[in-house]
Structure 1
Amino acid sequence: MSHASAPVLVLGNTGTPSDVEHLRHVAWNVAYELGAPVVFAMRADYRVTDFAAVYLANDLEAVLDAPTLVLLGEALLAGIDVHDPLTADEAVTCDCGLVHHYTRPHIDAEGVVWCQECCGESACTWCLEWNDVEDLTIVRQGDTFIPLHAGCLSGLRSSTSSSVLPIAV
């Protein structure tokens, strides 16, 4: 399943304000690196099968204390891809210059790194057109970060008085 076709879920600790800030920071970066909508789990009532993948904001030991731990178990049982956080040594740069600090890019047989943008899987959440990460605007809507073309964001802001933007997934 393409990351552009469904949002991904980020799980982590939510026990303290700094835990929540870290969870949001990781979720924003995952949205930027994938060019896909990202939900950061602040509660345990999500349906994990609605997500293309699950990313952990903390190492597994830290997530064991998270109230959203049940979502990790559900994801594993459902066969949803679960990604551990990258270590500093695992950060990798695509030929286009995008540095992956939180997500693992595709690396082909020749060792060439392919980010979601270079694979053609990064899309504006509103118009679903391909999205260049340099033109990407990440907008927070509740517990979700959504990537939008600047033009789509401008059009939406002028056409709606609501601060809530629709998510087309």
Structure 2
Amino acid sequence: MAHASTPVLVLGNTSTPADVEHLRHVAWNIAYEMGAPAVFATHTDYRVTDFAAVYLANDLEAMVDAPTVVLLGEALLAGIDVHDPLTADEAVTCDCGLIHHYTRPHIDAEGVVWCAECREESACAWCFQWNDVEELTIVEQGDAFVPLHAGCAAGPRPATSRSVLPIAA
């Protein structure tokens, strides 16, 4: 798994307001489950290589939007990991109680589920300090949901500070 501050891209249908709302819902949940920024794609102006992985908000057969198909194709050609949505039967619970509805957590050889928090891979996207996901606030910034400490989310930002999303240029 990539560093917790490395964003992931969430693809889904965007033809209707209901489609966009579903895409946003899935992206928020992925940010929460992973403790990492999740960008929801509503257009094709993304470089898929800027993301640690791509998550699909819809089954592959249900992907009908041209922007979604274009970005999915680019991700596959670039060798970016693409993750299908979990089915209801695939949802798993970590020993800490976090239920994974959208992301596949690490499962060790003994079958123990390890979420990003338990693996200490959940971090504030601003200060990069590890934290319990319940203590992180998921903040919407443009087309992304970003996990931040409450203090980092509320604190002033100098004009010269870096972006919260550490996307390579």
- TM-score, normalization: structure 2? 0.92
Change (3 A) 1:71 1:168: closer
Change (3 A) 1:3 1:59: farther
What is aligned with 1:24?
24
What is aligned with 1:110?
110
Deviation for aligned residue 1:63: 1.2
What is aligned with 1:52?
52
| Identical columns (%) | 79
Unaligned runs of 5+ in 1: none
Aligned counterparts of 2:148 and 2:62: Cα–Cα separation in 1: 32
Contact 1:140 1:146 in 2 (8 A): yes
Contact 1:59 1:85 in 2 (8 A): yes
| Superposed CA offset, 1:67-107 (max 9, x none) | 22111111111111100000000000000100000000000
| Superposed CA offset, 1:118-155 (max 9, x none) | 11111101100002111010000110110001121122
Unaligned runs of 5+ in 2: none
Q: What is the aligned length?
A: 164
The residue type paired with residue 153 of structure 1 is: A
Contact 1:14 1:66 in 2 (8 A): no
- TM-score, normalization: structure 1? 0.92
Is residue 164 of structure 2 the alignment partner of residue 167 of structure 1?
A: yes
Deviation for aligned residue 1:2: 1.3
Change (3 A) 1:42 1:91: same
Contact 1:4 1:35 in 2 (8 A): yes
Contact 2:37 2:165 in 1 (8 A): no
What is aligned with 1:62?
62
RMSD: 1.7
Change (3 A) 1:18 1:66: farther
